[in-house]
Amino acid sequence: MTKTIFLCIPHYVFTSDLLRTKYIEYLSEKYQVVVFTSMIGPEEAKRENYFSSSNVTYIKWHLENPKFWSVFKFLRIALIGEFDYLASMKYFYRRPNYVNNWKRRMLRNIFWPITKILKASWFTAIEYWLLPKSEKFLSYIKEYQPSLLVTATPGFDAAESELILLAKKSKIPSVAVNFTWDNLTMNCKHIRKTDYLVAWNEIMRKEAINIHHYQSEQVFVSGTPRFDPYFVMEKNEPTREEFLKSKGLNPNYPTIFHTTVTRAYTFQKKYIQDLINLRNEKKIPYVNLFFRAHPLDDLETYKEFFGLKDVHFEGAGREIVGPDGKKKVEMSYQDLLNLKYSLKYTDVNVNYASTITIEACIFDKPVINIGYLGVYTFAYGFTHYEPIYKSGAVRLVKKDEELAEFINMYLKDPSIDCAARQKIVSDYVKFTDGLSYKRSVDYLEVIANIKN
């Protein structure tokens, strides 16, 4: 009898990775899959052309206890001090969304003597005991008899947290399969430990063990399913000339590819303007400027730059209006391929402490990180990013004039820092066969057998 897996996907970042790639196709070859999201039911799945199979069922799941999770988010941020030694947490307490929230600061100050000993696991235990029973979820368990609950992350989103703890109450094991390289340190206050993790690499595996106290046998390494398309030759792949022309760019010029981060970082327009000025003032050779907005950034923020000659702006994917009425971005498989060609056919990448750094290294493209941003330079000391910065694989711009200096250096000799970039691929990507999705899914069988 085919086993059933519950797959919880909280938002469109994860539908891009799990429902628009080979992951869901391969998962459904091995299991009956019941997909829980707040966005996709049978009608939406058909209309929006999500993967269809007799083995896949889409169920709309709306958070049943939103106030409950809102309260615990507030308490976790204010009170958990277990991870205060991490650079990411030291930075967090300097960010406006913490500094400007007087209630969080007041509560933290009141309980300051004991915050150092307050642990995420304690809050998870309290949440477990206080979370109301869900008759609706119990009915789905009775109907489908799942062997595993699969989530993207170990409870960083309220929707995942709710299902992880409801599954735990029903003795259903859980496994997180799509958290990224910064989640275990940047989102550490919000972790609700799943029974197992499937991580990208050994670095993340060690963080799970050393920071979050997973046992070694609870954490598997699959590679990065999101990167799989980078290693597979597609039919009718465009040439560099074809691709750049499709963006309105001139293939006779070298191309700088700048990728933004989330809209929370308001400084980004400054260094986009800096790049345009450097070209206009002839401090760098005449280049194409190719700008890609992060899925959680707002492309319209940069509309004042639209239409400039040999300058191209684009979003990461297609805009969708989510259940909350707000615009979201979802990446299709074609969008993932578009990012692949964007990295492959450009000459230098410029970003702010982004995962794109690793992706650029896959294609051996020089990377320049922006660092002349005041408090935001803390990012280069974060637990997940500091090893990248110190590896020599990237050049960090600490003064305005260094941006032109590094661009000119890399355009003249792109082989500079090549060995360090290769080491990043070895350490952070590891598998380059395009089959990380398969390893990730195959581990679920191992986990199911362990629990049985």
Q: What is the pLDDT of residues 300-322, one digit of tens each?
A: 999 999 999 999 999 999 888 77
Q: Output 350 or 109, whichever has higher pLDDT.
A: 350
Alpha carbon distances (Å) from 403 to 115, 337, 410? 41, 29, 11
375 pLDDT band (50/70/90 cuts)?
low
CATH topology of domain 234-429: Rossmann fold (3.40.50)
Closest to 221 in 3D by CA, of 258, 196, 257: 196
Instruction: Let me know if the fold of 4-65+122-227+434-451 is the same as that of 234-429.
Output: yes
Closest to 149 in 3D by CA, of 52, 1, 9: 9
d(CA 204, CA 428): 9
Q: What is the pLDDT of residues 316-355, one digit of tens each?
A: 998 887 777 777 889 999 999 999 999 999 999 999 999 9
452 pLDDT band (50/70/90 cuts)?
low
Q: What is the pLDDT of residue 451?
A: 58
Q: What is the DSSP letter of 238?
A: P
Q: What is the pLDDT of residues 152-172, one digit of tens each?
A: 999 999 999 999 999 999 999
Give the chain's mean pLDDT: 93
Whole-number percent of the chain with pLDDT over 70: 98
φ, ψ (nearest 5 deg) of residue 120: -60, -40
Q: What is the pLDDT of residue 424?
A: 98
Q: List, in order, residues 6 or more apart from 50 with CB less than 8 Å away.
A: 15, 19, 20, 40, 44, 58
Alpha carbon distances (Å) from 268 to 116, 200, 248, 295, 351? 35, 28, 23, 15, 10
Q: Output 160 or 268, whichever has higher pLDDT.
A: 160
The dihedral region occupied by 125, where left means phi > 0, alpha psi between -120 and 50, and beta the remainder, is alpha
Identify whether the C-beta of residue 346 lies closer than 8 Å to the C-beta of residue 250: no
d(CA 156, CA 262): 17
Q: Output 322 or 115, whichever has higher pLDDT.
A: 115
CATH number of this structure's domain 4-65+122-227+434-451: 3.40.50.2000
Q: What is the pLDDT of residue 378?
A: 80
Q: Is the pLDDT of residue 94 over 90?
A: no
Q: What is the pLDDT of residue 319?
A: 87
90 pLDDT band (50/70/90 cuts)?
confident
Q: List, in order, residues 6 or more apart from 145 with CB less than 8 Å away.
A: 4
Q: 3-state SS of the chain: helix, strand, coil percent to 5?
A: 50, 15, 35
CA 129 to mean position of chain CA atoms: 30
φ, ψ (nearest 5 deg) of residue 337: -65, -40
What are the helix and strand counts (H, E) for the chain? 21, 15
Q: Is 213 helix (H, G, I), strand (E, B) or coil?
A: coil
d(CA 435, CA 45): 25
d(CA 160, CA 423): 34
Domains of the chain, residue spans: 4-65+122-227+434-451, 234-429
Alpha carbon distances (Å) from 285 to 120, 279, 280, 289, 396? 51, 7, 9, 11, 20
The Cα diameter of the chain in Å comes to 68
d(CA 150, CA 274): 44
Q: What is the DSSP letter of 31?
A: S
Alpha carbon distances (Å) from 233 to 116, 228, 236, 282? 50, 10, 9, 37
Please give the model's pTM, rounded to 2 decimal places: 0.93
d(CA 73, CA 189): 9
Pairing of strands 4-8, 146-151: parallel
